[in-house]
Amino acid sequence: MAPILITGATGSTGRATIKHLLQKGLAVRALVHKEDDRSRQLEAQGAEVVVGDLLDLRSVRRAFEGIKRAYFVYPVRPGLIDASAIFAQAATEAKAEFIVNMSQITARPDAPSNAALNHWLAERVFDWAGTPVTHLRPTIFHGWLIFAGKMIREEDRFAVPFSPSGKFASVSTKDLGEFTATLLENPAGHAGQTYPLFGPTELTPSEIASVLSKHLGREIRYEKVSASVLIRSFTGIEIPYLEQHFDAATGMHHDGLLAGTNDWFEKIIGHPSQSLEEFVEENKSVWEKK
C-alpha cells in the first residue's frame, strides 16, 4: 500500500494519527514545515518526513507523489481557503482516492466566526474538487487545558471567555488521531460523510473547574475573561484573527451551538472517547504546584 500523507505532522492530531497508523504497520509520509526535534522524532518512529508548505502548490505536489490517501489539517489562522484549494488540486493531480479533512464543530454557512466560516468553505472546496473526502467536526480539545497550565498551576484559576451557562463535551486528540487513522486505513463507507465529534460528557466552565479542583486537591476558580486576555495569557501577544474566532465562538457556546454528545467514537474506533476527568487525572502533573 502507498504511504499515507499526514499534514500538521508535528501538531497534536497529526502526531496522534501517525502514531496509530505506524502501530497498524502502515507507511506514513509526514509533511512538516521545518526540520527540528519534533520532525526527527517522527523519523525515529518510522515515518518518512518531507518539508513543505501548505500554501505552496509546488511543495504540496511533491508531497503527494505516489500518495493515494491523505489527512489535511490547518491551524486557526488566515490562509485556510488557499491551503485547501492547493491541497485539493494536488490530490486531484495525484489521482488520490481519499482525504480526511479536519474541520471544526463551529463550521456552518452562517458562522459569525471568520475561521469557522472558512472551515465551512474549505469543506465545500474539497467537495467540489472531487476526491472522496470525509469531514471531521470535533468540538474543543481537552488539550487546551495544557495551554492554560501556567494560569491554573500558579493562580488557581480557570479563566476563559465562555458563557457560564453554556456547555460542551471536549474531546481527546489521541482519540481523534485513532479515529482519523481508522478512516485512512479503511475508507469504505466514509467518503461523503461529515462526523460531528464530541466527548462523552457536556460540562459548563464551572463544572470543568470543579473537575480540576477534584483531581488537583485544591480549589480552581472559574473566571470569565475576554478572548484577547485569554490569548495573550497563552501566547504573550495579540492575535486578532484568533481573538475574533474566540469571541464569535463564545456567542455560539452561549446559544448552545457547541453542545451535544454522540457515539461516533465508539462506532468507528470501538471504544468511547476519553472523558475530561480521565484526561485531567492522566495529566495532572501539568497543573500541580512546583
pLDDT the model gives residue 235: 78
What pLDDT shows up at residue 149? 86
Tens of pLDDT, residue by residue over 227-266, are 888 888 777 888 899 999 999 999 999 999 999 999 999 9
In this prediction, residue 216 carries a pLDDT of 95
> Which of 203, 233, 208 has its CA nearest to residue 220?
208
Taking only the tens place, the pLDDT of each residue in 270-287 is 999 999 999 999 999 999
- Greatest mean pLDDT range, 118-132, 154-168, 234-248: 118-132
When pLDDT is cut at 50, 70 and 90, the band that residue 23 belongs to is very high
Mean pLDDT across 19-24: 97
Task: Note the pLDDT of residue 227.
Answer: 85
User: Over pLDDT 90: what percentage of the chain?
Assistant: 88
Rounded to 5 degrees, what angle do the CA atoms 192, 15, 102 make? 25
What whole-number distance in Å separates Cα of residue 245 and Cα of residue 104?
12
How far is Cα 139 from Cα 197, in angstroms, rounded to an integer? 6
Which residue stretches of 46-172 are H helix? 57-63, 80-93, 114-129, 144-147, 149-155
Region of 6 please: left (phi>0), alpha (psi -120 to 50) or beta: beta
Backbone φ/ψ region at 134: left (φ over 0), alpha (ψ -120 to 50), beta: beta
Mean pLDDT of 202-210: 95
**Average pLDDT in the chain:** 95
Domains of the chain: 4-139+173-197 (3.40.50.720), 144-166+200-259+271-286 (3.90.25.10)
Would you state the pLDDT for residue 232?
A: 83
Instruction: Pull the grid cell for residue 195.
Output: 462526523
> Residue 237: its pLDDT value, please?
85
List b or e across 47-58, with b for residues whose CB sees 16 or more CB atoms inside 10 angstroms.
bebbebbbeebe
Q: Is the pLDDT of residue 290 over 80?
A: no
In the prediction, which pLDDT does 230 show? 82
Q: CA–CA separation, 85 vs 28, rounded Å? A: 23
pLDDT in tens, 86-121: 999 999 999 999 999 999 999 999 999 999 999 999
Burial of 212: CB neighbours in 10 Å, binned 0-12, 13-18, 19+: buried
The answer, yes or no, to whether residue 174 has pLDDT greater than 80, is yes
**Phi, psi (degrees; rounded to nearest 5) at 13:** -75, -35
Q: For residue 145, give the 3-state DSSP assignment.
A: helix
DSSP 170-203: -B-HHHHHHHHHHHHH--TTTTT-EEEE--S--B
Average pLDDT estimate for 176-196:
98
**Is it the case that residue 63 has pLDDT exceeding 90?**
yes
Give the rounded distance of the alpha carbon of 262 from its chain centre.
Answer: 18
